[in-house]
Amino acid sequence: MARTALLNVMVNAVLKAGRGLARDFGEVENLQVSLKGPGDFVSAADRRAEETLIAELRKARPGYSFLAEESGVTEGSDNVHRWIIDPLDGTTNFLHGNPIFAISVGLEREGTMVAGVIYNPILNELYVAERGSGAFLNDRRLRVANRSHLADCVIASGIPQLNRPGQPEYLKELSTVIGQVAGVRCNGSAAMDLAWTASGRFDGYWQRGLSPWDVAGGIVIAREAGVMVSDQAGGENVLESGSILAANETIHRRMIELLDASR
Ligand code: IPD
Ligand code: CA
Ligand code: CA
Ligand code: CA
């Protein structure tokens, strides 16, 4: 697959930040860690990866704005393009020596997500997609799973932290979904959940309480693999609502019915 200049810029940035994360993962016990809130860790690895991503992307596309988890909003001179960055999605896994984590970078143009890259430097999985051009894992074209019966499906999810808004509703959803599917998986990285739904390892994914950087890159990758991605009410506004439902068209419809039934 010949990559466009834009995807090359994104890939170079995540590969460089990924080398740093892989080094830090090898010495995780020496990392400086602090808490942003209950159960919400941030480490020197998150910060270093974010600095590398911002420096590389800015060098290649001066003027673009940023929304990044650790440094927030940086307005650029270009009010059309915005990078949405999660330098380390799955920090809790990372700090426990669990290799399910990823860097996620999405590009928004005039309010629409147009490109996404997700990189896991330990599994050596690089997911890329540009709107209209398909989604790829290490150059292999991705396609959503085609199972059509919920009873055969493995569905990924993420549990909102205790006392966060949406937790009681989520627990009702979970108890409804568990009874209808082959399995529910909580892997601890929203970016990897979307990437694995794009690659067919999961038949679907739903979650509440997300931030834009958790899902921005993954939305493009999933859609380009044929995944239907919406908020949990079936609407388009995933980044703002913070809720997501992703699956092939049939399973997406069945999941909306199930989530509705749990309320
Ligand atoms: C978290 C992960 C996790 C999800 C949390 C996110 P972080 O991101 O995506 O899977 O359940 O809601 O905050 O903090 O590790 O980047
Ligand atoms: Ca975090
Ligand atoms: Ca995240
Ligand atoms: Ca993060």
pLDDT band at 263 (very low <50, low <70, confident <90, very high): confident
pLDDT band at 38 (very low <50, low <70, confident <90, very high): confident
Q: Do domains 5-141 and 150-261 have the same CATH topology?
A: no
Residue 129: pLDDT over 80:
yes
Q: Domain segments of the chain: what residues? A: 5-141, 150-261
**pLDDT at position 161:** 74
Buried-exposed string 147-177: b where 16+ CB fall within 10 A, e elsewhere: beebeebbbbbbebeeeeeeeebbeebbeeb
Ligand 1 atom closest to residue 92's alpha carbon, by position in its atom list: 15
CATH T-level fold of 5-141: Fructose-1,6-Bisphosphatase; Chain A, domain 1 (3.30.540)
**pLDDT at position 166:** 83
In the annotated binding site for Mg(2+), the residues are: 69, 86, 88-89, 214
Which amino acid residue places its CA nearest to atom 13 of ligand 1? 210
**How far is 197 from 199, CA to CA, in rounded Å?**
5
**pLDDT at position 39:** 82
Backbone angles phi, psi at 229, to 5 degrees: -120, 125
- Share in percent of the chain as helix, strand, coil (round to 5): 40, 25, 35
Residue 110: pLDDT over 90:
yes
**pLDDT at position 26:** 96
Residue 15: pLDDT over 80:
yes
Ligand 1 atom closest to residue 42's alpha carbon, by position in its atom list: 14
How confident is the model over 65-89, as pLDDT tens digits?
999 999 999 999 999 999 999 999 9
**pLDDT at position 156:** 98
How confident is the model over 94-105, as pLDDT tens digits?
999 999 999 999
**How far is 45 from 23, CA to CA, in rounded Å?**
9
Could you tell which of 214, 219, 241, 244 is best to mutate to test the pocket of ligand 1, judged by most ligand atoms within 8 Å of the CB? 214
Residue 130: pLDDT over 90:
yes
In the annotated binding site, the residues are: 69, 86, 88-89, 214
Paired tokens of 214: 């958790």
Ligand 1 shell residues, CB under 6 Å: 86, 89-91, 158, 188-190, 209-210, 214
CATH for 150-261?
Answer: 3.40.190.80
Residue with tokens 């380009």: 224
